[in-house]
């Protein structure tokens, strides 16, 4: 069945450094890969997504890369700021959204 593995489970970085979160998936039919940011006590918010016909997408300090052959995709945050601290979830969409377990990102100032 569908499965998404997300690593690391926690990540601490110094303000200004980069953060990278990686996900692997098993469903070769998956064609949409969103990333959600969930701040404490808040709902998940879509921050960036990528479709299977694209290898990389960038939006300001956030970028996502996709390797369909290897079935993995990554979130890259550059110049991290304290407000980037949150839980980040990757997901893949074959016939429904399946989420990774989440990564707690802490940005230390």
Partner 1 sequence: GAGVSQSPSNKVTEKGKDVELRCDPISGHTALYWYRQSLGQGLEFLIYFQGNSAPDKSGLPSDRFSAERTGGSVSTLTIQRTQQEDSAVYLCASSLDRWSYEQYFGPGTRLTVT
Query: What residue ranges bind partner 1 (CB under 8 A)?
Result: 32, 34, 36, 42-46, 49, 51, 89, 91, 93, 95-102
Phi, psi of 57 (to 5 degrees): -145, 140
C-beta closer to partner 1: residue 11 or 78? 11
C-beta closer to partner 1: residue 39 or 79? 39
**Minimum CB–partner distance for residue 6 and partner 1 (Å):** 8
**Minimum CB–partner distance for residue 44 and partner 1 (Å):** 5
- The residues near 80 (Cβ < 8 Å, ≥ 6 apart) are 13, 14, 15, 16, 17, 18, 19, 61, 105, 107
Cα separation of the two ends of the chain: 41
C-beta closer to partner 1: residue 29 or 101? 101
**Minimum CB–partner distance for residue 9 and partner 1 (Å):** 10
CA 106 remoteness from chain centre:
15
């Amino acid at each position: 069945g569908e499965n998404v593995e997300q690593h690391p489970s926690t990540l601490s970085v110094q303000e200004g450094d980069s953060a990278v979160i990686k996900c692997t998936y098993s469903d070769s039919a998956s064609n949409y890969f969103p990333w959600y940011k969930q701040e404490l006590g808040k709902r998940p918010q879509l921050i960036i997504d990528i479709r299977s016909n694209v290898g990389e997408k960038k939006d300001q300090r956030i970028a996502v890369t996709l390797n369909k052959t290897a079935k993995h995709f990554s979130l890259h945050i550059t110049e991290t700021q304290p407000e980037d601290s949150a839980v980040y979830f990757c997901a893949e969409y074959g016939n429904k959204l399946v989420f990774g377990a989440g990564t707690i990102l802490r940005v230390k100032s």
